[in-house]
Amino acid sequence: MTIRTYRPEVVAITGSVGKTSTKDAIFAVLSKKGISGLSEKERWRVRRSKGNFNNEIGTPLNIIGEWSDADMKLISLDTPAGTKRLQKVFFWVRVLLTMKVNIIIPGRKRYPQVLVLEYGADRPGDIKYLLSLARPKIGVVTAIGAVPSHMEQYPDVEAVAREKARLVESLPAGGWAILDHDDDVVLAMREKTRARVKTYGFDEAADVRISNFENVSEAGRPEGIAFKIEHEGSFVPVTLKGVFGRAQAYSIAAAFAVGIAFGLNLVEIAELVERYYIPAKRRMNLVEGIKDSWIIDDSYNAAPLSVREALTTMNELAATRRIAVLGDMLELGRLSVEAHESIGKMVVGVVDELFTVGPRGKFIAESAIKNGMAKTSVHAVDTVDEVLLQVQDTIQKGDLVLVKASRAMGLDQVVEEIRNMA
């Protein structure tokens, strides 16, 4: 009812990796559109999904109203069933009241003109349901990869792709499908949409192309990323501090593609990204560590593609030594063992000290040793508590520490243990 009443432009993002960073980059561009030339009242009103609330509960809430982080935490896994009952009751009462106000007293000047929403696909049918709530005019598909997340709910990779392709299939002829050019499965979706297509990526054939990318270090300190965005013969430089990896560049390129679809130019988009893009916490963020070390906090989530990208990034940054703390990648189904073993093979020659956490993490450790890493440099444990002091004791001045795993593994505790709290 809210969507039919206010008719906002809907930008929807799906994929296996990078959805939240892409959403935040798009929000930075659209919410501050025309920053140098328009007054606050003249700018677009834009709302984005909170955090990664992209399912059958979170998406309707994001459509209905603007909620605080504390509100959304009440319905997350961080708040177990049976706790904070009174706060939950009051929250749902507020939700119902907001719904009624939206319907009974329409306020077009109050409701967002643009909604930027993540569409999760944990299981078959999820995208179809979310499309029934809000059908977008612009659909963005980020990388899926050879081993997508949530594989345990699907028979094969093709089934994951079919589910996510529902987004581009639903787009109107006047809409835009924004596709990751470097992922063959995603690129093939251009044949499944009536909408106009704009691709992004590192490949020379991408419509919005990333070039001259580098992870930047200065005087032994990781600084950020720098690259160029090219489109139709023009280019602009982009520099971001405190974040790392090609994945961030992909998110920014997708935001450029959306900005172009909204009629913005490259220079304006670059300015908006550099001034207003705030990367989500625990996604390739730089944190100062104990003993004059540096931490790449990527502890929010993990899939094989994102872990490989994180290790590649780590290898490109200056450091005295490189330490990786890697935990289980969950929900990979029958491909789980193979996926973890592939990561173990990749760490050899990149990482000086490897710590793994969890039963699946042991496959990473065993594979690393099998592929030539010294046994004395590989440490496999079952729980986060076991790894905390070991990592703390191992860190030396100038070390670069990567912390990454699926969210349920709780490796954010490792980051908090070894960060410099001074």
The string of pLDDT tens digits covering residues 53-95 is 777 888 888 888 888 888 888 877 777 778 888 888 888 888 8
Q: How far is CA 193 from CA 7, 124, 175, 198, in A?
A: 22, 20, 10, 12
Q: Report the range of poorest mean pLDDT among 91-100, 130-139, 167-176, 356-365.
A: 91-100
Convert 43-52 to b/e letters by CB count within 10 Å (16 or more is b).
bbbbbbbbbb
Give the separation between CA 54 and CA 351, rounded to whole angstroms: 34
pLDDT tens readout for residues 349-385: 999 999 999 999 999 999 999 999 999 999 999 999 9
Residue 366 sits in which domain range? 285-418
Same structural domain, 204 and 331: no
Give the separation between CA 114 and CA 375, rounded to whole angstroms: 53
Residues 31, 46: contact at Cβ < 8 Å?
A: yes
Looking at residues 240-250, what average pLDDT do you find? 92
First to last CA, the chain: 50
The predicted pLDDT at position 357 comes to 96
* Closest listed residue to residue 65, CA positions, set 92, 40, 83: 92
> How much is the mean pLDDT over the chain?
90
Same structural domain, 318 and 214: no
Same structural domain, 197 and 310: no
Give the separation between CA 316 and CA 294, rounded to whole angstroms: 14
3-state secondary structure of 355: strand
Question: Structurally, how many domains does the chain consist of?
Answer: 2
| Contacts for 204 with CB less than 8 Å, ≥ 6 apart | none
Same structural domain, 328 and 398: yes
Q: Among all chains, which residue has been given the structure tokens 């860190």? A: 395
Q: Report the range of poorest mean pLDDT among 100-109, 248-257, 385-394.
A: 100-109
Give the separation between CA 88 and CA 38, rounded to whole angstroms: 40
Same structural domain, 368 and 390: yes
Name the E strands within 75-143: 114-118, 138-141
Give the domain-ending residue among 222, 251, 276.
Answer: 276
Give the separation between CA 193 and CA 177, rounded to whole angstroms: 7
Same structural domain, 128 and 249: yes
Work out the angle between the directed axes of helices 361-370 and 336-347 (0-180°, nearest 10): 50
Q: What is the distance of C-alpha 402 from the center of its chain?
A: 17
Same structural domain, 238 and 168: yes
Q: Which of 46-60, 269-283, 377-391 has maximum average pLDDT?
A: 377-391
Same structural domain, 146 and 243: yes
Give the domain-ending residue among 276, 306, 340.
Answer: 276
